Amino acid sequence: MSLKRALLATALVSAPLLASIGTASAQPVTGLYIGAGAGANWINNPSKFDLSGDTLPGNFGLAPNTTINNAGKANFNVGWTGVVSLGWGFGNGVRAEIEGNYRNNEVDSIRGFGLAPVSRVGGFQTTYGVMANVFYDFDLANFGLGQSIVQPYIGIGAGYAWTDWKNIRGVGTGNRVISADGDDGQFAFQGIVGAAVPLTWVGVTGLSLTAEYRFFGTLQPELATTVSTATGARLQSGKIEADNYNHSVMLGLRYALFQPPPAPPPVVAAPPQAAQAPAPARTYLVFFDWDRADLTTRAREIISEAAQNSRRVQATRIEVAGHADRSGTPQYNQRLSQRRADAVAAELVAQGVSRNDISVTAFGESRPLVPTADGVREPQNRRVEIVLR
């Protein structure tokens, strides 16, 4: 199975899922989340083996301070990998998690050690470990691309992994048999690039489909190896130092347990129904992310529409009122609602509205659109109301 075919298979599996997702927009992960993924794993071929009498005196008959680099090589077939994770999202794109991982590949060929050609090759390399990872999720709206259902991310990780050789063997010239069994733990590291797509269409807020590429490696494990005759008489033995670099492509699911629902789109009050009735005030709602007072692309569009309509209907007064949800202290939320109202007023001025026509007030958490208990993050309460009178 080639890398190109595996990538094509991953794309074919994910295509129908992506097609059915609809228009749900990606949100920063907030709070506790769990994740799991599985896919294909390639060991960097060929994997090189070193012999060293420096750290392992007498290894394969080598004198101390003697090293033979690339004494042997092995190629591995495409295998599989799986990961599970437990993490925390900080609501601003940053995530941190603990991960457990597992990789398994079958050996395809062995070369070197003065045994060429080596036939009747078999056995498996298994790597499993624990990693601490840090991620950053990109909000494409910050790059002027508007709201998107796809949220790219990057990550790095470090931890500890064990490399386990299970019955790796081959028969070389003179019917000499090379065999290796055992395991060794070493420092591990990885780099990750991926993308997440929300699956809110299945009715579960916080559930996302993930697709990832991972480069995973360890320091060289030292693994017990023996060269013997066909009858089992030992000729040489010791430990070899093996390269261990992996490439993985995975699909997975991530579930944020307490992810707040996405904010509803800003709405505009209905126009008057009867021409003879006095024109009612027009209201526009601008929503904000949690603990944020900066304007999204959609928020600027709503404010621009309000500014244009204020000139069209010749509004004599424009009221701008800031609000917050109840997830912080009343004092903090009062200041936050003021910052939100000031940001909207500044954008109205930038759109050509006279500052003298704008009145700005801040109500903090005292006038929720949706009543909630204290401490609840309610997206519809994180808003600024623009009223044209």
Locate the domains of the chain by residue range. Answer: 3-256, 282-388
* CATH node for 3-256: 2.40.160.20
71 and 284 in contact (C-beta within 8 Å)? no
Domains 3-256 and 282-388 share a fold: no
* pLDDT, tens only, 26-38: 678 889 999 999 9
Mean pLDDT throughout 44-64? 72
Q: What is the pLDDT of residue 7?
A: 46
* pLDDT, tens only, 327-362: 889 999 999 999 999 999 999 999 888 888 889 999
- Token pair recorded at residue 280: 């009612």
What is the pLDDT confidence band of residue 140, given thresholds at 50, 70 and 90?
confident
Tell me how far apart the alpha carbons of residues 81 and 131 are, in angstroms, rounded to a whole number: 14
248 and 216 in contact (C-beta within 8 Å)? yes
Percent of the chain with pLDDT over 70: 84
What is the pLDDT confidence band of residue 383, given thresholds at 50, 70 and 90?
very high
What is the pLDDT confidence band of residue 23, given thresholds at 50, 70 and 90?
very low
Q: Which of 243, 250, 225 has its CA nearest to residue 101?
A: 250
Q: What is the pLDDT of residue 100?
A: 98
* Amino acid type, 367: R
Q: What is the pLDDT of residue 87?
A: 97
State if pTM tops 0.75: no
172 and 117 in contact (C-beta within 8 Å)? yes
Q: What is the pLDDT of residue 10?
A: 47
The residues with which 103 forms a beta bridge, in sequence order, are 81, 127
Mean pLDDT throughout 244-267? 84
What is the pLDDT confidence band of residue 53, given thresholds at 50, 70 and 90?
low
Is the domain covering 282-388 a CATH 3.30.1330.60 domain?
yes
191 and 215 in contact (C-beta within 8 Å)? yes
CA–chain centroid gap for 186, Å, is 25
